[in-house]
Structure 1
Amino acid sequence: MPYRRRIIDDVLDVLMPDLAAVSLEGAKAVGKTATARQHVVSEVSFDDRAQRRPFEVDPSLIVGFPSPLLIDEWQFVPQVWDMVRRAVDDNPTGGRFLLTGSANPPTGARTHSGAGRIVRMLMRPLAFSERGLCEPTVSLRALLAGEQEQISGVSGAQLADYADEILRSGFPGIRDLPDRARRAQLDSYIARIVDHDLPESGASVRRPNTVRAWLAAYGAATATDASYSGILDAATSGESDKPARQTVDVYRDHLQRIFVLDPLPAWTPAFAPLRRLTHSPKHHLVDPALAARMAGVERASLLGGVQPKIPPLAGSWLGSLFESLVTQSVRTYAQAAEARVGHLRTRNTAHEVDIIVESDDMSVVAIEVKLAGAVDDRDVRHLNWLEEQIGERVVSKVVVTTGPLAYRRPDGVAVVPFALLGP
């Protein structure tokens, strides 16, 4: 299949000529290697035991290749990281190394963070605008800069289309398969996490069924800030011999190390009067299709025709997974705009904003996600409250919907069908 250009390609085009080393990181199957190959002239793959064996003996071999050099799955030979760092110290010329990795090595496996030498970038599954379904008319970058006054456009995507996209996944090699093959690949992906990827990252998996149950429970908590103890209870309901909380915390840490968990941190504004905000992250898996698959959710259950075997911890499955899909895409768009992403919730839950995008100059785009086509005053009250609290720092207020029309309300809130939102 021809390569489909990704948003991060534009970022790499800008950065690589001036940076000696870039590390492109993310979960397996997000497309790191295919993307990296567009930007290099030579390659070594440490996923191949035969290829990596010489570098285990002599990591300095990497300096002999034409640049830019792709070092694929570098974490299999962690000492190469330090060799790249030293090579950059010796020669900081831009465009020398592009590393890819689907796991952070265990603590102590590398001796230096790479700060100041190796720039780390996270790659996620396909954002919605990268899937080729609809041409975006609203730019997150322009919203963040306060430059998009005109909000317009018509989306042909309907609720069922968003449900289909959740299930198809954003993994490039999985999404275009026939339904049965896609389900088999997602099942295999989940099994590989427990049976192969976790042990490979240094985790001792003594109770694989418990890990699978915990992952499913975490998926059921998608787009919520449910406590980890609550997730553990949901995963081990009816079991008398429950794993220790510390054991589950180790699994969770390793799942984040291999980028399977992608929690959205709580946002705390600097130099602002907001008080009593929660600090708990919102739970998200790297792709909402994994949560749907582990829960036995398919199209009929998403659209309300059949009950899934695992209920979501809050709201509906379609609502939770749609918010996760939106969050995943917004994080990709925000990275391209050099912005941070979080969520806001007060401790008494009186106010919450699903997604906060903040630039370096502390400008804020506040986003609510609504699983409906129509928007009324109740849907924008938290956005307007936040603007009252921090004033002009809120440069754009947005409600992302499943409706057909993009427009701006009289109170300044932009109503944007998800398919029309892009980088």
Structure 2
Amino acid sequence: MKYLRRVIDDDLEKYLKMIGAILIIGPKWCGKTTTAQQHAKSILKLDDKDNYQSNMMWADIEPSRLLRGDKPRLIDEWQVAPALWDSVRNSVDESDGYGLYILTGSTVVDENSIIHSGTGRIHRLLMRPMSLYESGESNGQISIMELFDNPDMNINNFESQLTMDKLIFAACRGGWPDSLNQETEEGQLFIAYSYLENICNTDVSVVDGIKRDPDRVRLLLRSIARNNSTMAKDQTIIDDINANFMDISRPTYYSYVDALKRLFVIEDNRGWSPNIKSKSAIRSGNKKVFIDPSIAVAALNANPESMEKDLKTFGFIFENLCIRDLSVYTNSHGGKVSYYRDNSGLEVDCVVHLRDGRYALIECKLGTKRIEDGAQNLLKINSLIEKNEKIDNPTFLAVLTGGKDAVTRKDGVKVIPIGCLKP
């Protein structure tokens, strides 16, 4: 199978020359191990069934033995033996070298199981499922980082070859590398459903050793999917679960949500609260979004055909896809995606902040009829920002669409097909 280069490959090459060890975290099946193997000279797979007991014994007796091998040495699923963290840190200290280890992990590890944080020794990189550009479905004619550097760049001659049918299918299939190896569309769509079943039946209980009801996990994920990218409160989701299952208490609910976050299944999209003179209070609660839109589709027991008949719901799936891709494209520059909303209903789907302080306001509108609404939202909040001397103006305003043509409107708002975007 041909390896499809990932955006994170450039980060790996860069940081292996700057620090002793790199930890790649992210959801299962997103390609962490395969990507890490492209940069490693030796490999230790801790969850290898044939050597598992032996590996665990050495991890307990003499963990440094497991670090022997050509460097960079890949330690896959390191969290199976947390003691290796401190061994890696000590090895980096003693060798005083760079690019010695690459660790991969599919869960957030309890910090109490390690002695040192690894600061200055181990650099963390979050890997997400594949973006449309990485899977070859975006032609990459428009670079978001070029827009940050040159917001006046001409985009009017660019167009996407990604039809609406193909966009819907890509969102339902998700960014799972193995799905691209499947020969049939049925096989490609199956990966996300299989991922969901593994999470519900096994992973959500294994992550911290607490047994959780698979059916309750499914209902929780379905409720979050129904409220995907919305301001739904925790109590709304709890009530939704209780209406379809036995009662779930708030502590139990938070325990389930925490487990799903530790598995990188869901994450918080935080509210942006700029100090602008708005007549309406800013709502800064967190939205819950999926690490990949296909998980939401699977949780809803939906498919491309049902999404085509329910474009309103797919609009929220599309927003989730845009958040995933924007996060992938800007990660190398410290990109963080948040949202803005106030009590008057004025909102911006995505506020993309870079490490250097620059930011962009971006709306996600599936069809061309909604572009005007998105542009007006952007212009309204931009006018509030312009009146405040303490806040820098956004570098650019843009509406991401599922359409064909890219254009810069007369008011300066960029209209960008998601099928044209790249890092």
Residue 331 of structure 1: aligned partner: 327
Question: Which residue, 199, 208, 220 being the options, matches 2:205?
Answer: 199
| Alignment deviations for residues 191-214 of structure 1 (CA, whole Å, 9 cap, x no partner) | 221222122211423432112211
Residue 96 of structure 1: aligned partner: 100
Residue 408 of structure 1: aligned partner: 408
Range with bigger deviation, 356-365 or 181-190: 181-190
Paired positions, count: 411
Question: Residue 75 of structure 2: SS of its match in structure 1?
Answer: strand
Residue 223 of structure 1: aligned partner: 229
| Alignment deviations for residues 160-208 of structure 1 (CA, whole Å, 9 cap, x no partner) | 1111111111101124432443454333322221222122211423432
Question: Which residue, 385, 391, 398 being the options, matches 1:390?
Answer: 385
1:225, distance to aligned residue in structure 2 (A): 2.2
Aligned residues: percent identity? 29
Distance 2:25 2:107 in 1: 7
For 2:210, give the aligned amino acid. S
Cα RMSD (Å): 2.0
2:289 is equivalent to residue 284 of structure 1:
yes
Specify whether residues 163 and 80 from structure 1 end up closer, same or farther in structure 2 by C-alpha distance, changes over 3 A only: same
Contact 1:203 1:251 in 2 (8 A): no
1:138, distance to aligned residue in structure 2 (A): 1.4
Specify whether residues 249 and 20 from structure 1 end up closer, same or farther in structure 2 by C-alpha distance, changes over 3 A only: same
Distance 1:209 1:252 in 2: 14
Contact 2:29 2:177 in 1 (8 A): yes
| Alignment deviations for residues 140-166 of structure 1 (CA, whole Å, 9 cap, x no partner) | 112223455211301122211111111
Question: Residue 119 of structure 2: SS of its match in structure 1?
Answer: coil
Contact 2:151 2:396 in 1 (8 A): no
Distance 2:192 2:413 in 1: 38
For 1:413, give the aligned amino acid. V
Contact 2:397 2:413 in 1 (8 A): yes
For 1:60, give the aligned amino acid. S
For 1:389, give the aligned amino acid. L
Structure 2: tracts of 5 or more residues without a match: 387-391
Residue 109 of structure 2: aligned partner: 105
Question: Residue 360 of structure 2: SS of its match in structure 1?
Answer: strand
| Alignment deviations for residues 269-315 of structure 1 (CA, whole Å, 9 cap, x no partner) | 4x7656832222222112211211221211221111xx7xxxxxxx8
TM-score, scaled to structure 1? 0.92
Contact 1:362 1:393 in 2 (8 A): no
Specify whether residues 198 and 378 from structure 1 end up closer, same or farther in structure 2 by C-alpha distance, changes over 3 A only: closer
- In the TM superposition, what are the counterparts of 1:22-421 in structure 2 within 5 Å? 22-49=22-49, 50-51=51-52, 52-53=55-56, 54-147=58-151, 149-152=153-156, 153-177=158-182, 178-239=184-245, 241-269=246-274, 276-304=281-309, 316-346=312-342, 348-374=343-369, 377-391=372-386, 392-421=392-421
TM-score, scaled to structure 2? 0.92
1:358, distance to aligned residue in structure 2 (A): 1.1
Contact 2:151 2:395 in 1 (8 A): no
